[in-house]
Each structure stands twice: as structure tokens, then as C-alpha cells.
Amino acid sequence: MIRSVVLASLSLTASLLCSQASAQGVMPTPGDDVAYTSWQFSPLTLHFHPSPEHKHAVSVAYEQTLKDNHTRSLVLFTNSFGQPSVYFSPWGQRFDNLLGQPNLFAKWNAGIIYGYRGEYKDKVPFNHGGFSPGLFVALGYRFSPQTEVQVNLLGTAAVQFQMNFNVR
């Protein structure tokens, strides 16, 4: 029940933040440089070195893929220690038709994480006041223009399984 409330709150917050950013000109609206947008949900994260401290981590995200295949995204998530967190990535790239397979793709993105605080501040590198750099790579498969799945490598800590719902 608590997870459902947290997830619904995170989803609503992401929606409001993205619509506010778009209205203020921070993010272009579809039709500018945006090829399509994507709503993403990750229900499962598996750690390479599980710990009793780890809690169930979920995320919701809004991502824009530009016409040149650059990406930018906003991710709201509960981190592995149950803390509400956010990741903003203004830099990323998508590579379609990976290895000559039309439905296979890879992505990378870099940005800033906020949320690892207090006793967990040292769980991510270069953390200062809850802010730290973030980088991830992903491998995915497109089932249709609207539906994809991807696996995200979260540094040396974990893999995350994600569903993408594209709006073109």
C-alpha cells in the first residue's frame, strides 16, 4: 500500500514537473526538436551485492528522444535505501538498429542524482549535500513503436528492468 502511494505521488510529481518545464521553455514541446516522448516505469532493481539494508526500489521517468537521437530525462525513484530521489539527465544518446537488428537499441545518459543523504551519503561516489553525478547504459528491445523494454546498468551496483511507453 505504501509503495503504491509513493509510486502514484512520484508519477504525479514527474507529470507536473515535466509539464511545468515544457511550459517555461526548458523542454521543447513535441514538434520542436523532439521525435517522441516516453513514459517509463521500473518495477525491479537487482543488486550485484544484496544487503539487508536494501529496500525495494521503483522508478518512474519521462524521457524525450530528439530527432538527432539525443535524449534527456527526468527520473523520480525510491533509492535502494528507501529515500525519495531524483535523477535529471540532460545528456544522452540512443543507438537504434544495434548489431543490424531493427528492434534492438542501446542508450547511455549522464546527469545529476539527488537523494542519497544522511547515513547513505557515501553509497554513491562524489556525493556532496545529497547531489552526485550519475551515468548509466542500457540495452533494450522495441516490441512496437509504442512499447519497449530495457535493462539499465546502474554503475557497479545493480541492474534495473524497465518498461517504456512511447508517445509519437
Tell the CATH topology of 2-167. Answer: Porin (2.40.160)
pLDDT of residue 21 exceeding 90, the answer is: no
pLDDT at 6: 41
144 with 22: CB under 8 angstroms? no
pLDDT of residue 18 exceeding 60, the answer is: no
pTM: 0.80
Beta carbons within 8 Å of 140's beta carbon, 6+ residues apart: 104, 105, 106, 107, 148, 149, 150, 151, 164
The rounded distance, in Å, linking the Cα atoms of 46 and 34 is: 32
Cα→Cα distances 74→48, 98, 144, 161, Å:
25, 25, 23, 17
Domain ranges of the chain: 2-167
Higher-confidence residue of 2 and 90: namely 90
Geometric angle at alpha carbon 114, from 60 and 68, rounded to 5°: 60
153 with 137: CB under 8 angstroms? yes
Mean pLDDT of 12-29: 46
pLDDT digits (tens, 9 = 90+) for 56-92: 999 999 999 999 999 999 999 999 999 999 999 999 9
- Mean pLDDT, the chain, integer: 87
